[in-house]
Amino acid sequence: MPSILSVIYRTAFSVVNRTVNLVCEPLLPALRRPSLSPRTIAFDRSRPRPFAWTLTIPLDLPTLLQSAVVDPRLFVLFDLNKLLHMDPTSQDSSLTASQKTSPPSDPATVSQFASEMSAQATMLTQHQQQLERLTALTEQLVQAVQGLQVASPPVATPPPPPAQRPAVQPVTASPRLAFPEKFDGTADKCKGFLLQCTLFVNQQPNLYATDESKIAFVCSLLTGKALEWATAVWDLGQSTYPTFATFLRSFKEVFQAAPEGSEAGEQIVALRQGRRTAAEYALDFRTLAAQSGWNDGPLKLHYRKGLNADLQVELACRDEGLSLNQYIDLSIRIDKVMQSRKPSRTFPATFQPQPSASTNPEPMQLGTTRLTVEERERRLRNNLCLYCGQAGHICATCPTQPPRPPTSVSVSKSCLKRCEIPVMLYSDGLSVRTMALIDSGAAGNFIDKDFVHANRLPVLSCAHPVAVAALDGRPLGTGRVNHVTKDLTLRVEPGHQETIRFFVISSPQSPLILGYPWLNRHEPTISWAGGVITHWSPHCQEHCVHPAPQTPPKPATPPPCSTIPVEYQDLLEVFSTVKATELPPHRPGDCAIDLTPGAAPPRGRVFPLSQPQSLAMERYIKEELATCFIRPSTSPFSAGFFFVKKKDGGLRPCIDYRSLNEVTIKYRYPLSLVPPALEQLRSARYYTKLDLRSAYNLIRIREGDEWKTAFSTTSGHYEYRVMPFGLVNSPSYFQAFVNDVFRDMLNRWVIVYMDDILVYSNSYAEHVQHVRSVLQRLIQHKLYAKEEKCQFHQESIAFLGYIISPEGVAMDEAKVKAVQNWPQPRALKELQRFLGFSNFYRRFIRNFSTVAAPLTAMVKRGETRLTWSPDALSAFHELRRRFTSAPVLRHPDPQLPFLVEVDASSTGVGAVLSQKQGQPPKTFPCAFFSHKLSPAEKNYDVGNRELLAIKLALEEWRHWLEGARRPFVILTDHKNLEYLRSAK
């Protein structure tokens, strides 16, 4: 393509050149006259190219002036030296000086010259028209050439131009390769990197002619560990690798991953087509085959075994004499034909597929993940992802898993190939008959939670929640197993009986699942076609097989139900979801809304809602009216109604009560101080956490104040009868209410912060009594708890952002991880958010104020766009680092002496409260304190700053140090305080 365009452009400019020379050449004799001195010829270079050349002549030749302008669209290509370097004496040497300096006086001469110029102008116009036509034709030809396809037949070489012009030879352009990406030493990228480099240097042999240049090119693309290796090799001398091939071999030995033959072979054996097309399966197979080094015979065998059964049948009579590639191509063609024969996902009117009754995946449905049993057990045991094997997430949220295409077609139960056997469950005189699914892919034995509730089977809370997912990685229910059944007697015919426990999950289509651990233990012989067990292992014949009971046990009093421990089964009313939606009674602590005198009724606007929000709003109003929590209103007050998105994508209704809150008299009831409350847990060993259901809705609005809570929607005007979210006094009224409910238990064995209740005890028996008293108090005051958020009899529990255990109080690991991964703030709001989040855990960070001083200084400057100094950046990274090394704070023990260690610097002071605990005694921190110095305090001398640190530390921990049973010790590292002992 470039060679053809070059010929076209060169031909066009040759024509223009010859044309202009032909037109302008007759002008030269006239211009050589003395009256037209060369010094009068000027060139107008101010115009953009192509520009005009203008001849400036004496004023007495106006006609010549009008005719001497060359058209600006032409490139004047004649020899300028003829005009600029003419010798005025070379033509008419016989002229006198006066003739040379004076203009011609003969009118005939002037007229003749003007006539010649007019004729030349006419010729110039004609040539201009010809050139315009030539230019148009040239542009059309260029467009036609540019539209040619690559596959077009080769263009014939044009005949050579005249002999005086050298022939234009076509140039073959080399293909352009992408520049290789830099290599940092990652083993998985080594092979691809060397391939790109080899192709690049081979494509430019003139540029990379020597081995040294090729080695230098590869080294120029190295970074990180790879560059460090290259630098070390370079220091040894260039003679280390005399050739490029030697360098590549050494490079592969260092950076390329270990030989993949055995691993690729294992993957080939396990590879299956599954739901993929044959083309997708063949691509993966060919990649592994290239890595394995196997010959075509075994590869063909394993390729056929990995295909789907229907495709194998189609290929059974067609593979004679075919090579591996031919066999693969044939399978792809047949698979495409089979795919085209499959019916579309449209159903006749006689068959209407219904959506699945449950969105929870069944554990027996096999996905595409194929792990060994040992590997699956290891990942489940260590809470690792079943897809990538990493921690911190489950398979359903794995970032490396490709997205799953959605489908709206549900598989009917009859389509699933299942093996279910009849079994009997016995527990405390209760007998239940059901069908158990035999699932060799399940990593445990499971039971459906609804089946447990319906049959009132006893359960226990798991000491540590267990992650559970289907084989395709989707979480079962909440993705965690929090409860397990008590020991149950399982009887399977013929005559097999054992004691077993089941994990409680949501599995509505299979109430009982016997997984791989059960199969591995008993090794039964199963008739899969008949769905019965025909024989038991020798071990079972000796230990598990017993004759059937002559009479079934008589049903006794139903045992306790639900996932609540058996000790509280008589108090299940407190977990009722039905009673939690009943309108609560009026109490002395009802929420009052007192307005400032003379306040105007606030009026909020009606917010427009989208279609999904409108449907959600209608559903919310209908539910609230049904529970009598709201009622139609004629109030002059009005607040706007809108939705905000939840983390799970749902919609949370909100009322804009800002205008009402501005005119409401504030109720200044204090909320509980969590850190001092946690210090009371010094001897606790067992913990139970309760979460109240619909907390604010458990309190009524004071009678007569309901009209003040009115809000407007697109469907009407309503007012609340219970305390809603958004009122300025709602937190205070609720905290006051729950404190009154548990007044005699607070700080003895109960901590209450809003709707979160923590019960703690020193012994198990004592803990049961404490929890029972709390549950009874909730029932007495018609308060209800969320069963799914309650945790019972824990030895370590998360509460209000802290991890509480008998050893002490630690930061929540999820919060610590959030700080570690916090990106560098770019705006003032982001920095304030980081400091606010970090300040919550400042009692765990030694000298927090001193470390964070550069960051707080940035906040005080008020810059919208932050300018990070080296000190501020160092403080940000140091603060994140200290979160990872923060210790567990021990519970203070008043029976032991305290140790107060203080320190002071030029920017702040800090202190540590410690105690010696354990055997042998070791010093453990109980709390940290820090204070940033004010401008006035920075003027203190060193000794006074140390005294300030002591004063502030004693004030901070006065509730522990004042009246301590044993004297406490203050440690300081400055000698200026010695004068205190001798001061008078």
Please write the tens of the pLDDT for every residue from 353-372.
Answer: 333 333 344 333 333 345 66
Looking at every residue in the chain, the average pLDDT score rounds to 73
Average pLDDT over residues 436-451: 81
Omega before 50 within 30 of 0, i.e. cis: yes
Task: Provide mean pLDDT across the span 243-267.
Answer: 73
Q: Which of 400, 429, 424, 374 is nearest to 548 (CA)?
A: 424
77 or 571, which is more confident: 571
Across 244-255, average pLDDT: 81
User: What local confidence, expressed as pLDDT, does residue 932 receive?
Assistant: 84
- Which H or E element spans position 617? helix 611-626
Helix extents (H) in 663-791: 674-678, 730-741, 764-780
Query: Please, how many CA atoms are within 13 Å of residue 831, restricted to the half-sphere of its CB?
Result: 25
What distance in Å separates the CA atoms of residue 494 and residue 490, rounded to the nearest whole number? 12
* 3-state class (DSSP) for residue 335: helix
Range in 343-352, 367-376, 733-742, 860-869 the model is least confident about: 343-352
Contact 687, 794 (CB under 8 A): yes
The pLDDT confidence band at residue 132, using thresholds 50, 70 and 90, is confident
Burial 641-674 (b: 16+ CB within 10 A, else e): bbbeeeeeeebebbbbbebbbebbeebeeeebeb
Write down the pLDDT at residue 206. Answer: 80
Is residue 738 predicted with pLDDT exceeding 80?
A: yes
User: How far apart, in whole angstroms, are the C-alpha atoms of residue 970 and residue 972?
Assistant: 7
**Weakest-pLDDT range from 75-89, 486-500, 696-710:** 75-89
Measured CA to CA, the distance from residue 874 to residue 883 in angstroms comes to 15
How many helices (H) and strands (E) would you count in the chain? 31, 29
Q: What is the mean pLDDT of residues 162-188?
A: 64
Asked if pLDDT for residue 24 goes beyond 60, the answer is: no
270-284, 331-345, 824-838, 919-933: least confidently modelled range: 331-345
| Residues 671 and 737 sit within 8 Å (Cβ to Cβ) | no
Lowest model confidence (mean pLDDT) among 125-129, 340-344, 828-832: 340-344
**In 470-511, at which residue ranges do the beta strands (DSSP E only) sit?**
475-485, 488-492, 496-500, 503-505
> Contact 950/910 with Cβ under 8 angstroms?
no
What's the confidence (pLDDT) of residue 401? 62
The yes-or-no verdict on residue 105 having pLDDT over 50 is: no
Q: What is the pLDDT of residue 226?
A: 84
pTM of the shown model:
0.43
At residue 267, does pLDDT exceed 70?
Answer: yes
Interatomic CA distance for residues 111 and 105, integer angstroms: 11
Beta pairing partners, 222: 183
Judged against a pLDDT cut of 90, whether residue 434 lies above it is answered with no
404 compared with 743, residue with greater pLDDT: 743
How far apart CA 500 and CA 962 sit, in angstroms, is: 56
Residues 969 and 901: their CA atoms lie apart, in Å, by 8
Gyration radius of the chain's alpha carbons: 45
Running DSSP on this structure, what letter comes out for residue 482?
E
Whether residue 109 is predicted with pLDDT greater than 90 in this model: the reply is no
Q: What average pLDDT does the segment 547-572 reach?
A: 57
Distance set, CA 226 to CA 222, 232, 241, 650 (Å): 6, 10, 16, 49
Summarised one tens digit per residue, pLDDT across range 472-513 is: 455 555 567 778 888 888 888 767 788 888 888 887 778 888
Q: What percentage of residues in the chain have a pLDDT greater than 70?
A: 70
Q: What is the pLDDT of residues 384-397, one digit of tens each?
A: 777 777 776 666 56
- Which contiguous run of DSSP H or E holds residue 216? helix 211-220
CB 497 within 8 A of CB 491: yes
